[in-house]
Copies of this chain bind each other. A is one copy, B any other.
Amino acid sequence: MARRNQHSREELQALAIEAVRELVTEQGLEKLSVRKVAQRIGYTPGMLYHVFSNLDDLILQANARTLDELLGTMTYAADQPPRQALLAMAGAYLALARQHTALWKMVFMHRMNQQAPVPDWYLQRTRQLFARVEQQVARLGGDHDETQIHLAARTLWSSVHGMGVLAVEDKLTVAGEVDEQAMLASLFHHYLQSWAGEKTA
């Protein structure tokens, strides 16, 4: 590791975020602390507080990295025809859940300390993700207004999220052995079939 005075503010931030991701993957979110993050990168907790406001901030920054990776995959998928694009985006979401379960869970399990509001820069990040979905949903059906497009994007996301939760928690066996990819395909086929059909109604 480079000596601490060799790190710029940005490098220190990046190091800390990477340490959060490693620690959460190894030990779970519950056991994360600023002290452990500092220890892993060879800084004092006090030094970290120059770069992050608190543990919440550190977690949100790490989550933002996860969301950015997802956004990258979703942006890449956007070139396809709308139905394929939406299915590919949902597939990327499930792949994230399967392959980086701890990081994916951190996005959904973390709660702000003391009920502090989620900061605007973070909400902006999630808005970008939904915008990708909305864009494709809008391409499918011209007669739907913004409110309906907003709702459709969230309905699909919540549904895919449920499949991800049950898949990573190994609860699909209790449902009688069902494949999450088949559920994903069924959901998108039927939901979008009707949605697109309403365009010409």
Contact = CB atoms under 8 A, between A and B. Distances in A.
- The quantity of this chain's copies bound in the complex is 2
Nearest to A109: B169
A166 to B, nearest CB: 5
Contact of A175 (B109, B111, B154): B154
Q: Chain A contact residues (Cβ within 8 angstroms of B): what range?
A: 35 or more
Looking at chain A's contact residues, is the secondary structure mostly helix, strand, loop, or mixed?
helix
Interface in A152-201: 152, 154-155, 157-166, 169-176, 178, 180, 182-183, 186-187, 189-195, 197
Interface of A: 108-109, 111, 118, 123, 126-127, 130, 150-152, 154-155, 157-166, 169-176, 178, 180, 182-183, 186-187, 189-195, 197
A192 B189 CA distance: 11
A161 B154 contact: no
